[in-house]
């Protein structure tokens, strides 16, 4: 299984409630993915203050903040949301992420950008949401995932989201059957992987095409041409929120769209508590069709 939830707000008055709404949605998907969980929150001023970039790190050494501050010569803020550490600083996001990778080669960068923060771990998703401080978090877009592992060990690094490009985030329900051959091709092109997870291959494939100039719709169409297996994917960037399912739509997905938000989940029960849900347009995304909502 695995459970996906996502909320792309259109009505700014809901932003203070993003984290509590996402927590409620995630809580409904625990039985689909009880072994680990993760979230990506866009536009939260505590995780990622305005004018600063942030990087989310697993297994951060205790002296990382000092080392990054000394290397960059700027003030570095940090939040300990174990097992994730979030660093923020007034430098470009790629510089901050690269500095962390250089100074802490045994740590894993699990997300970076101008306004996204990625938090993940193992254990009960409800406990993780509390550890992350999700219920109190504001924001304008959020993505969550509860994992039941199919392709790699139950570790924090193997949890979703996979957020491997700037301000990007990808979560997956399903399994890619040809991910190892695509992984070898990407490695031959110099792409470096952090885990054995099949979803990471999809995220690296999408990030590569976005970096080469494709828009999100094109990158997901290329993924559909290249990847075999089962998938419902929710993929986001700072301004986009996208859903795609494999050609036989093997894994469930449901979308609710209204003036206030676009919401997506693996099952309707995760959407049932959203404000105004009874007036939303509710539909099942069609197989093999890329849906993208932009702000």
Ligand X SMILES: NC(=O)CC[C@H](N)C(=O)O
Q: Could you tell me the CA-to-CA distances from 11 to 8, 33, 217, 258, 291 in Å, in that order?
A: 9, 30, 24, 10, 20
Q: Are strands 169-176 and 77-81 parallel, antiparallel or unpaired?
A: unpaired
* Least distance to ligand X, CB of residue 243, Å: 15
| In the complex, minimum distance from the CB of residue 223 to ligand X, in angstroms, rounded to a whole number | 14
**Residues 295 and 10: beta-carbon distance below 8 Å:** yes
Q: Convert 10-35 to b/e letters by CB count within 10 Å (16 or more is b).
A: eeeebeebbbebbbbbbbbbeebbbb
**Residue placing its CB nearer to ligand X in the complex, 148 or 260:** 148
CB closer to ligand X out of 1 and 46: 1
Which residue, 97 or 233, is less far from ligand X as judged by CB?
233
Question: In the bound complex, which residue of the shown chain has the CB atom lying closest to ligand X?
Answer: 2
Is 2 labeled as catalytic in the residue annotation?
A: yes
- Among residues 2, 169, 250, 258, the one annotated as catalytic is 2
Give the span between the Cα atoms of 21 and 248, in whole angstroms.
30
Question: Could you tell me the smallest distance in angstroms from the CB atom of residue 36 to ligand X?
Answer: 9
Q: Which residues have a Cβ under 8 Å from the Cβ of 6 and sit 6 or more positions away? A: 141, 142, 143, 144, 171, 234, 236, 241, 263, 264, 265
Which CB sits closer to ligand X, 49 or 229? 229
- Minimum Å gap between C-beta 174 and ligand X is 5
Apex CA 253: angle with CA 168 and CA 55, to 5°? 20
The DSSP 8-state label assigned to residue 17 in this structure reads G
**Of 115 and 151, which has the nearer Cβ to ligand X?**
151
Residue 191 DSSP class:
-
Judged by the rule CB under 6 A, the positions of this chain that interact with ligand X are 1-2, 147-152, 172-175, 197-199
- Closest separation between CB of residue 238 and ligand X, Å? 24
Catalytic residues: 2
């Amino acid at each position: 299984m695995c459970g996906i939830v996502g909320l792309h707000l259109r009505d700014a008055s809901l932003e203070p409630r993003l984290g509590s709404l996402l927590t409620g949605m995630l809580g409904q998907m625990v039985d689909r993915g009880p072994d680990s969980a993760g979230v990506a929150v866009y536009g939260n001023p505590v995780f990622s203050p305005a004018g600063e970039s942030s990087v989310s790190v697993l297994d951060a050494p205790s002296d990382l903040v000092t080392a990054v501050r000394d290397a960059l010569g700027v003030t570095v803020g940090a939040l300990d949301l174990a097992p994730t550490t979030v660093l923020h600083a007034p430098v470009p996001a790629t510089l901050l992420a690269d500095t962390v990778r250089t100074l802490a080669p045994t740590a894993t960068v699990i997300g970076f950008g101008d306004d996204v923060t990625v938090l993940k771990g193992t254990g009960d998703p409800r406990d993780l949401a509390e550890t992350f401080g999700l219920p109190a978090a504001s924001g304008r877009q959020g993505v969550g995932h509860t994992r039941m592992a199919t392709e790699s060990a139950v570790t924090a690094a193997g949890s979703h989201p996979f957020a491997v490009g700037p301000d990007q985030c990808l979560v997956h329900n399903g399994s890619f059957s040809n991910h190892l051959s695509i992984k070898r091709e990407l490695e031959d092109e110099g792409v470096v992987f952090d885990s054995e997870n099949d979803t990471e291959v999809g995220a690296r494939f999408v990030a590569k095409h976005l970096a080469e100039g494709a828009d999100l719709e094109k990158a997901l169409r290329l993924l559909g041409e290249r990847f075999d297996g089962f998938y419902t994917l929710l993929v986001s960037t700072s301004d986009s929120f996208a859903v795609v399912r494999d050609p036989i739509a093997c894994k469930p997905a449901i979308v609710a769209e209204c003036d206030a938000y676009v919401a997506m989940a693996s099952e309707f029960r995760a959407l049932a508590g959203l404000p105004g849900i009874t007036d939303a347009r509710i539909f099942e995304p069609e197989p093999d069709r890329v849906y993208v909502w932009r702000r």
